[in-house]
């Protein structure tokens, strides 16, 4: 089977020479499909983010197979070996510690490389925290933006926060519990206190919790709490007519651009375009 062939009918799985991207649970071990278990048991080998984690799932379902480690630290060595194995006709499964491999987890690089070699990839779908969270939020889910983890670098982070503040679509973000309070305060600063969000904690697990309301209320809810567990944040899109750009941020950007050497006129023109405002509205901020 090559890149251009139609994958209309699969014979018995797993097939030789195919890379399988296998979804595993994000908490509740029962969230794994029969098809995924069949692949994990019968491929030539399973490349895992952490072999100990995958062993736990396999032993729960009484299956075993050859496991190798495949993660961000060893992927440059492992990818050529996996590609070689596939070309020799082996069937290989990629699994991450939880959810879909390649979604903020190891797996993206190998799919690019494998595809470029003309080898087929079959995805065995499973749980994904982003999809589980958006459907639990009741927010619009037919079209949405998935940001994964926001960048750490301030300038890149602020650019995305600004985009979120103007976005008409639902946005989904992954965040660690340690950094949740900081992120909530940034969302408050960029999106304003009325923006509706939902913090989904420990999805599919015993202590699953959905904290949803406007940003202020959500911040209040977490204020005196030690936050633990896994967190996904869902942010409701704005209605276009409700967009009210945060003038203090634009004013700060204006000062930054002027300090960097731009004229007031050029800086105002640039920021007006970026924020959907009239040039005079930006110009008059100073």
Residues in contact with ligand SAM by CB under 6 A are 26-27, 96, 98-100, 103-105, 128-130, 174-176, 200, 202-205, 230-232
Shortest Å distance, C-beta 97 to ligand SAM: 7
Residue positions counted in the chain: 286
- Residue nearer to ligand SAM on the CB measure, 227 or 272: 227
Cα separation, 151 vs 166, in Å, equals: 18
Do 146 and 120 contact (CB within 8 A), yes or no?
Answer: no
Shortest Å distance, C-beta 128 to ligand SAM: 4
- Residue nearer to ligand SAM on the CB measure, 233 or 254: 233
Shortest Å distance, C-beta 168 to ligand SAM: 24
Shortest Å distance, C-beta 231 to ligand SAM: 5
Shortest Å distance, C-beta 57 to ligand SAM: 14
Question: Which of 69, 271, 276, 17 lies closest to 168 in space, CA to CA?
Answer: 276
For residue 88, count CB atoms less than 10 angstroms from its CB and return exposed for 0-12, middle for 13-18, buried for 19 or more.
exposed
- Residue nearer to ligand SAM on the CB measure, 147 or 202: 202
Q: Return the residue nearest ligand SAM (CB atom).
A: 99
Question: Which of 111, 168, 174, 113 lies closest to 147 in space, CA to CA?
Answer: 174
- Residue nearer to ligand SAM on the CB measure, 48 or 128: 128
- Residue nearer to ligand SAM on the CB measure, 176 or 265: 176
Count of other CB atoms within 10 angstroms of residue 214: 17
- Residue nearer to ligand SAM on the CB measure, 31 or 253: 31
Shortest Å distance, C-beta 251 to ligand SAM: 33
């Amino acid at each position: 089977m090559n890149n251009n062939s139609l994958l209309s009918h699969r014979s018995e799985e797993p097939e030789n020479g195919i890379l399988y991207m296998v979804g595993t649970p994000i908490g509740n071990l029962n969230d794994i499909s029969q098809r995924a278990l069949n692949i994990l048991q019968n491929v030539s080998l399973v490349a895992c983010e952490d072999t100990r984690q995958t062993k736990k799932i396999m032993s729960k379902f009484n299956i075993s197979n050859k496991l190798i480690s495949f993660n961000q630290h060893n992927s440059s060595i492992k990818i050529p070996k996996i590609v070689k194995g596939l070309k020799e006709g082996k069937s290989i499964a990629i699994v991450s510690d939880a959810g879909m491999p390649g979604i903020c987890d190891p797996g993206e690089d190998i799919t690019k490389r494998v595809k470029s070699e003309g080898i087929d990839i079959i995805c065995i779908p499973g749980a994904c925290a982003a999809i589980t969270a958006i459907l639990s939020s009741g927010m619009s889910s037919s079209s949405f933006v998935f940001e994964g983890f926001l960048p750490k670098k301030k300038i890149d982070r602020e650019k995305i926060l600004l985009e979120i503040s103007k976005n008409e679509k639902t946005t989904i973000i992954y965040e660690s519990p340690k950094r949740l309070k900081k992120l909530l305060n940034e969302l408050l600063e960029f999106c304003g206190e009325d923006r509706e969000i939902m913090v989904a904690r420990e999805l599919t697990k015993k202590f699953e919790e959905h904290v949803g309301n406007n940003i202020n209320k959500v911040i209040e809810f977490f204020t005196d709490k030690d936050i633990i567990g896994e967190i996904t944040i869902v942010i409701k899109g704005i209605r276009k007519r409700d967009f009210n750009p945060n003038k203090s941020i634009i004013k700060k950007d204006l000062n930054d651009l002027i300090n960097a050497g731009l004229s007031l006129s050029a800086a105002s023109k640039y920021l007006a375009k970026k924020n959907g405002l009239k040039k005079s509205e930006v110009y008059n901020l100073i």
